[in-house]
């Protein structure tokens, strides 16, 4: 893989990752007339839950469902300049033009209204967009094995880089696919967030893992993985280095977890063999997901990596893929129990979904 870092017209960084090290050099200049970046995100901590909430009002003006010929993630062409100056690319990552978290935000910590009840601070961090391919009318699941491997290496590169960014406490790589999920740009892409705090779900998972280790002397996810492989009725793919399965307590109507057989904290810690095997395993999972309803499945794919500075010995890297589609023409809406109380109710058993996915 070849890595080339450049800058866009407003100073944002853009990085090209080429599968072929002999690909044309990435030297195109961004000819757009863009205003300088003026990040202004704020975050406030909910006094009832202790969770941080980002306030990013500038995102109201972000690009929303443009036609294919105006897609900002396609390569640039004569008369049509996009976020990517090159006329073609393999995988590319650039700083989000409308970030929820960003560097260089002025101001210091304080409290809302000066009461001391609601702490506030600049939403320092970094948000990046990752384009998996220059082809607009395709999807991650239709990429070749070598391209997926390039994506994995790019995830590892960005995880390492953002982990060294001052103020970043956790790196989150993810993909949203499908309008039902809320996607506003249809070009195959994902995002990478460098959070200035450890996310609430990660904190809960680390607490549970710590309690389990104190009681049993073993890692919780290691025991979950062993139990799923032994039972087998929810396993979709069991390869040399990875297992993909529908979790026994799945929240979503379609939900698959992919775990490496070896405990590693994050993507950079994966070996070459583990990265190769992941590419094959994940493509198999996505093929089955798209075959479930004979239509492209809307989904969110979320990497759970160790925080930068805490809980790394308790973390076990894994990918969770889930969908809101409970039938080919029916969505699962979060009802009062889920939205109001966080108590999930699934309309289908994990065993039944696993059986259907295995049959594809």
Adjacent-strand bridge partners of 130: 93, 190
Position 37 scores a pLDDT of 77
Question: Which H or E run includes 303?
Answer: strand 299-304
Euclidean distance between CA atoms 172 and 336, whole angstroms: 28
Euclidean distance between CA atoms 33 and 9, whole angstroms: 7
Within 10 Å of residue 128's Cβ, how many Cβ atoms? 23
Position 170 scores a pLDDT of 98
Position 176 scores a pLDDT of 96
Within 10 Å of residue 295's Cβ, how many Cβ atoms? 12
| Enzyme catalytic residues | 189
pTM above 0.85, yes or no: yes
Q: Is 71 annotated as a binding residue?
A: yes
Q: Is 136 annotated as a binding residue?
A: yes
Euclidean distance between CA atoms 56 and 191, whole angstroms: 16
The DSSP secondary structure of 159-212, one letter per residue, reads HHHHHTSTT--EEEEEEEESGGGT-S--SSEEEEEEESS--HHHHHHHHHHHHH
The DSSP secondary structure of 85-114, one letter per residue, reads -SS--SEEEEE-SS-SS-S------EEGGG
Within 10 Å of residue 87's Cβ, how many Cβ atoms? 12
pLDDT tens track, the chain, 360 positions: 999 999 999 999 999 999 998 999 999 999 999 988 777 789 999 999 999 999 986 665 566 567 778 899 999 999 999 999 999 999 999 999 989 999 888 888 999 999 999 999 999 999 999 999 999 999 999 999 999 999 999 999 999 999 999 999 999 999 999 999 989 899 999 999 999 999 999 999 999 999 999 999 999 999 999 999 999 999 999 999 999 999 999 999 999 999 999 999 999 999 999 999 999 999 999 999 999 999 999 999 999 999 999 999 999 999 999 999 999 999 999 999 999 999 999 999 999 999 999 999
Q: Is 127 annotated as a binding residue?
A: no
Position 64 scores a pLDDT of 53
Q: Under a CB-based contact definition with an 8 Å cutoff, are residues 74 and 84 in contact? A: yes
Chain length of the chain = 360
Position 251 scores a pLDDT of 97
What are phi and psi for residue 304, nearest 5 degrees? -105, 105
Structural domains in the chain, sorted by start: 2-197 (3.30.428.10), 201-358 (3.30.428.10)
Adjacent-strand bridge partners of 44: 53, 120
Pick from 90, 119, 118: nearest CA to 17: 90
């Amino acid at each position: 893989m070849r890595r080339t870092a450049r800058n866009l017209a407003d100073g944002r960084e853009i990085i090209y990752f080429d599968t072929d090290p002999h690909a044309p050099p990435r030297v195109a200049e961004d000819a757009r007339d863009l205003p300088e970046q003026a990040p202004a995100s704020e975050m406030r901590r909910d006094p009832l839950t202790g969770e941080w909430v980002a306030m990013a009002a500038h995102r109201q003006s972000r690009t929303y469902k443009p036609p294919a010929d105006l897609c900002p993630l396609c390569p640039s062409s004569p008369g049509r300049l996009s976020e990517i100056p090159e006329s073609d690319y393999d995988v590319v990552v650039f700083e989000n033009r409308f970030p929820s978290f960003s560097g260089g935000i002025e101001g210091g910590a304080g409290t809302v209204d000066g009461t001391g009840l609601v702490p506030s601070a600049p939403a320092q961090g970094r948000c990046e967009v990752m384009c998996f391919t220059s082809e607009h009318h395709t999807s991650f699941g239709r990429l070749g094995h070598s391209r997926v491997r390039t994506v994995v290496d790019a995830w590892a590169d960005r995880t390492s880089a953002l982990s060294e960014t001052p103020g970043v406490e956790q790196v989150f790589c993810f993909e949203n696919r499908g309008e039902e999920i809320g996607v506003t740009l249809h070009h195959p892409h994902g995002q990478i967030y460098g959070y200035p705090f450890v996310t609430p779900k990660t904190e809960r998972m680390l607490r549970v893992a710590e309690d389990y280790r104190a009681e049993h002397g073993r890692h919780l996810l290691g025991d979950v993985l062993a139990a799923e492989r032994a039972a087998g009725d929810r396993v979709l793919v069991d390869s040399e280095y990875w297992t993909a399965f529908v979790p026994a307590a799945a929240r979503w109507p379609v939900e698959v977890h992919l775990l490496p057989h070896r405990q590693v904290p994050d993507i950079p810690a994966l070996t070459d063999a583990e990265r190769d095997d992941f590419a094959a395993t994940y493509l198999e999972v996505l093929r089955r997901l798209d075959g479930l309803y004979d239509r492209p499945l809307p989904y969110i794919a979320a990497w759970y990596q160790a925080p930068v500075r805490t809980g790394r010995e308790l973390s076990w890297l894994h990918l969770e893929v889930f969908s809101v589609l409970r039938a080919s023409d029916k969505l699962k809406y979060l009802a009062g129990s889920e939205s109001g109380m966080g108590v999930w109710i699934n309309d289908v058993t994990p065993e039944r979904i696993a059986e259907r996915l295995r049959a594809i």
